[in-house]
Every structure is written in C-alpha cells, then in structure tokens.
Amino acid sequence: MSAPVVVIGDALLDRDVVGRVERLAPDAPVPVLDAQEERLRPGGAALSATLAARDGRTVTLITALGRDSAGDALRAALAEAGVEVVDLGLAGTTPEKIRLRHSGRSLMRVDRGGSTGGLVKPASAAARAAVGWASAVLVSDYGRGVAAEPGLRAALAALEPSHPVAWDPHPRGPAPPPAVTVATPNEDEVAHAVREPEGRGLDHAAERARRLRDRWKAMALCMTRAADGALLLRGEGPPLAVPAPPVTGGDPCGAGDRFASRLAGALADGASIEDGVVAAVGAASAFVAAGGAAGLAERATSPDPRAAGADGTAEVVRVRAAGGTVVATGGCFDLLHAGHVRTLEAARRLGDCLVVCLNSDASVRRLKGVGRPLVPQDDRAAVLAALGCVDQVVIFDEDTPERVLDEIRPHVWAKGGDYESTPLPEERVLRRWGGSAVILPFIEGHSTTRLIEEAADRA
C-alpha cells in the first residue's frame, strides 16, 4: 500500500448520457441523441480521491455532499472506490455535470444543482486532525466553499513546511495559504489571475506564473499547459519545462484531477517536486489517451471489449468506430534495432493503428534467460512509443500475449518472419472474434542476441 493522502475539496457528480445520433430534429438543426444508457462517476475532488485510491493509496476525502439523490450516488461511488469520506454537509443540492455523448465524444454539457447556503457544519476536530495524519494533502478546489472552510485552512497553515501540500486552485476559490509545497493552476487560470506581462510566448507565460507564485508565497508553482505539458517554477532559476507525450484523440475531461492526484501521491511517497511533476504529466497524458474520466466508466460498464477498447486506448476506439483496421504485434524489443523498426513499419501499413504488445521484464527473463532484458520494460516501452509507426504500447506479464489480445481484439496480429512455418499460439485466441494472423518478411542480419554477442566480444 502506498503512502496515504488526504483530499480536501468540492465533490461533484458526473453523469454521462450515452447514445447515438443518426438524425436531426425536425423543428431545429440540432442532433437528436437517442439515449441508451446513463453512467455515473465521481467528479471534482471526488474524482481526484478516486484516482488516488486506484493508485493503491489509503485516501480520506474531506468534502460536502447534499442530502439528495446525487449526493447518495456520490457516497456509493466513493465507498465502492474505497475512499473514506468526511462529510461536512452541503446546505444546498449536490452539483452535477451532465454530458451528452455519442461515439466517445461530448455533444453538450449541462450543469445543474450546486445552489448552496454554505456548509452544514464546520470541520470537526477529526477532520482537522486528518490533515496532519496523511503523508500529503491535496486541495482540489472547485470554488464551492470547502477549501475556504476556516478550520481546514487553519489546519493547513499549521503544518510544517516539510509536510507536502499540493493546491489545485479555482478562479472562484480562495488563494492557498502561504508556503504550500506546490500550486497547480492551468495556463488560463494564471493568465486570468495575472494580466501582465501581456503576450502569448513561453517567456510571458512563465513570468506571469512566477508573479502568481510570489503573490501566493508558494514554495513552487506548476502551471499545467494541456498538450504542452507543464512549467515548474521553483527558486529563481529558469523554469523546468516538462513536455507531455503526444496523444492522438482522447478526452481531456479530468486530466487536471489526474495530474494533481498523481503529483500529490508522488510527494506523499517522498519524491521531489520535479520528479512528481514529471510523473504527473505522464499520468495525465495516459489518462487523456485512455478516454479521460469517461473512460473509467466506459471500461467498467462495457460488456464487449470491442465496443470500448478494453485496453483503454482512445486511438483503438476511434479506429474501430470509424470502421478501420486495428493491427497488433508483439515481442521483447530488447535493444531496438533497424530490423525491429522495419518490421513495425510493415505492420503499421497493414491497418489504421498499431498496438505493440511488449513482454514485461519477468516475461523476458523466462523466455530469454538470466541477464535479459538489458533494457527495463518502461524504457523499452518509451522507445517504442516514440516511433511514428506505433500508436500504443501495452505491457504484459505472461509468456504469450493472449490475455491482452483478448482485451484489444485486433483485426490483424502480425509477427516477424522468423516465426515462418511455426504455429502461432495466438491464433487460437484470434479465432474468438475472427481476427487474422500474418507473418511479415524476415529481415536478414538483424538480431538482438547477435548484437549482445558482438558487444561482448568487443568489450
């Protein structure tokens, strides 16, 4: 179990109405959504808490819920996620965000509820004490009052400077107390709070972020920049620019909550702010690619892995929905060489997206013996993902990728020519959905084993 985290903030209920659009309304040029199902999930600070719990953490959420059906649904969802809730009570109705969705995309969002006369009760002694018990605190402010509660702010202000606090602000919410570890506004929020200097360049954005950090007296400020990653300002030196991995398609809903929850978790585990930001950018990018917040519910409720792309990749979902061909291939890819690249490029030309099923470190050791792999699985995955012909990398632990293939359900499974005339163990699972196996031409003279042997001889 990873280090515990306390999340403070406003909980929302996200409600997705999912259906199909096949016609326009006769009385107006607007699409008609034939609703097929409704999916409920935690939103706001409740989403941050749920994501932290999914990371294997003990999570306490200090929030305020209304005594209504939306509040009851949130309580049930948080209990299912394993999140302990300290409920201050909401005098009004629980806020809801309703999205009308078709083919994995939102057509419209409707907000309702959230009218409030404030919190029902102040933070209890137990709630204030919980702030100090956790290894890190995340304030996920949605501008509805919880982050401004005097008792909680006093508990935060009383923490030692070494106690990690990540503050995810909201334009309608209060400024963080002085000396929080890191504040995480997005670029638009920084521009709204600090008007000068005007301009759109990186230097202008960094200077606005620096001024906001100084105004808030935060130890560090990390300005998130959507697909451009994040900019961390700490001390007086140049900012640390953390680029985001490229993402095709996907859904950015909830990406800020994924960023903040992963950053708070990294700080709880003792990571530096810099390492935490790098981990958070990677986690947020993967979250967007996997379909964002909606992807959590879609993967949980879809009865057919082909319908929602059980591997969670938005690109597989998009290609399949558009009637395209999903191709998969697999291997160890230890010491990636030109033969690997040419085989991957050939596989990609067979369809509209390519998923690489990558043997984990343990799987490689069983197949290749002690001393392999030379390159750890995360590094091998990063190199593969950087190739233009690769759309997704999925790591598996078994000796063969049959389980992960059953989740992805590709139309085509492609293997290198060194498997020619050898029955493929994957063919059995491919038959379940009518997938095909093909062999790609063998490229002579390229072998990881030969490269290792030559390197050893020269050494």
Residues catalogued as catalytic: 257
The tokens for 86 are: 């300290």
> If you count them, how many residues does the chain have?
459
CB 11 within 8 A of CB 44: yes
**How far, in whole angstroms, is CA 237 from its chain's centroid?**
30
| Concatenated DSSP letters of 203-242 | HHHHHHHHHHHHHHT-SEEEEE-GGG-EEEEESSSPPEEE
SS3 356: strand
**Can you say whether the dihedral through the CA atoms of 325, 328, 329, 332 is positive or negative?**
positive
Separation of alpha carbons 286 and 417, rounded Å: 32
Separation of alpha carbons 115 and 94, rounded Å: 8
SS3 277: helix
Phi and psi at 183, nearest 5°, equal: -105, 145
Separation of alpha carbons 273 and 266, rounded Å: 8
Phi-psi label, residue 104: left if phi above 0, alpha if psi -120 to 50, beta otherwise: left
| Cis-peptide into 197, omega within 30 deg | yes
The tokens for 441 are: 């031409």
| Concatenated DSSP letters of 337-354 | -HHHHHHHHHHHTTSSEE
Separation of alpha carbons 294 and 143, rounded Å: 23
| Concatenated DSSP letters of 12-63 | EEEEEEEEEEEEE-TTSS-EEEEEEEEEEEEEEHHHHHHHHHHTTEEEEEEE
Count CA within 13 A, CB hemisphere, residue 204: 10
Residue 147: DSSP 8-state: G
Count CA within 13 A, CB hemisphere, residue 422: 11
Closest to 252 in 3D by CA, of 293, 214, 219: 293
Which residue type sits at 246? P
CB 356 within 8 A of CB 392: yes
